[in-house]
Amino acid sequence: MGRDRLTRGLALRLCLLLTTLCVCVHVYLELGERKGAPSPLTLGHPTQTSQVLPDSRARTRGAEDPMQHRVGAEDRAVKRRVSYVRTLKKDSGAGKTVGGEEPSTCCPPLRLNRKSARWHIVLEPWASDSHSLEEEARRFLSYITTPQVFCAPTSPEGPVVQGVQEGPEGPWAVCLDSRYSLAQRIHIQHCRVYSLGLGMEDKTLERSLARAGCEVHCFDPSLRQAHLQESDMWLHRLSVDWRDPNPAIPNQRQHSNTKKLATILNDFGHRQVDVLKADMESAEWKILENLVLEGVLSSVGQLLLEIHLHWAGFEVGGDDPSVVRYWFSLLKELEHAHFRLFRYHSDPAKPRLFLHRNILNASSTYTLGWVNTQWRP
């Protein structure tokens, strides 16, 4: 009987001790919250876990941090977001993978090396106080026909790249100077090429780069199949535009198979392109503007572009002097992005038309080549 009373006494004392401890902890936490002490769960960075998106193409998604707590109006106004990107196994050209179809097992950190998006380009000052068309044309034509860097051929000690750079008479050529990385990238077969075009334009350069070991993607909306491999090149039924399709408009009522280059790069899981060749039949000005505004140029090693001068181009407005000033400002944006003109080519068979007239005997078409002097793959 005495032993039972002793046991009950000890149990009662233990219960009283635990109750006192719980009350103390509760009072401590209440005082901490009233003083504005942050919850431990809101400190530091949100935890990022691996996640594979169900879509077969690489996309970017935002997910709210599930550990966000209510700690005041200011904390509620700030939402942490974690982005997940599904890409190819490797971002190099070693794998001949189309459109990022190969499944990914992890989410690499975002490292796109792109500047934040802008709303408009910076227009350069007028060529003269009179704002005359002839002065604007003279400045523009002088700019596109004056190379800024000299591309020496690869040295005997450098990597051997056979049959890639065309002769001086060809319209398309790449820069294989050892100061830049393209020759080395071709040598180790980590080279990626995007060729943007409409119709059956010349593919000599693309074929030579493919034979040298580059991963070549040609985009043409007139193809019958979505993806096709031909002569070591990938052909895609897709064209580049300066805008993405509007999801609110049915496909049959808008231009189908067109996307911005940034969207295509993201869908294909590609972060960098060694050579970007574009012959867009007068859409090049708005596409180039989109590349500038969205900071995509930092992902490009060399830009080969055919420009058309016989008219202003798609959705380029203003009087003739303003149009030429806009063209010149776009090319100066390339220079601000560390691109330097290494080559230009004018086809003597093209008509001598500059905005529907003959000005300074300028050709209607020029092929220009720029190299990104700060590009590091």
Per residue in 329-354, pLDDT (tens digit) is 999 999 999 999 999 999 888 999 99
CA distance 352 to 360: 9
Model confidence at 18, pLDDT cuts 50, 70, 90, reads confident
Instruction: Look at residue 252 and tell me whether its pLDDT is greater than 90.
Output: no
- Structural contact between residues 370 and 302, judged by C-beta atoms closer than 8 angstroms: yes
Which secondary-structure segment (H or E) carries 300? strand 300-308
More confident residue, 140 or 110: 140
Mean pLDDT of all residues in 270-289:
94
Check whether 79 has a pLDDT greater than 50.
Answer: no
Average pLDDT across the chain, whole number: 76
> Which CATH entry fits the domain spanning 133-372: 2.60.120, 2.60.40, 3.30.70, 3.40.50?
3.40.50
Instruction: State the DSSP H helix or E strand holding residue 134, giving kind and residue range, or none if neither.
Output: helix 133-144
- Which among 162-176, 233-247, 325-339 has the top mean pLDDT? 325-339
pTM: 0.67
**What's the pLDDT at 93?**
41
Phi/psi for 117 (5° steps) reads -65, 145
Q: What percent of the chain clears pLDDT 70, i.e. is strictly above it?
A: 67
What proportions of the chain, in percent to the nearest 5, are helix, strand and coil? 30, 15, 55
pLDDT at residue number 234 = 93
Which among 277, 329, 283, 282 has a CA at the least distance from the CA of 305?
Answer: 277
Locate the domains of the chain by residue range: 40-85, 133-372
- Write phi, then psi, for 356 (nearest 5 degrees): 70, 15
Question: How many C-beta atoms lie closer than 10 Å to residue 215's C-beta?
Answer: 24
Average pLDDT over residues 250-258: 58
The region of weakest confidence among 99-103, 104-108, 181-185 is: 104-108
Judge whether residue 86 has pLDDT over 50. no
Tokens 């997940």 sit on residue:
84
Q: Name the pLDDT band for 264 (thresholds 50, 70, 90).
A: very high
Of the two residues 22 and 135, the one the predictor is more confident about is 135
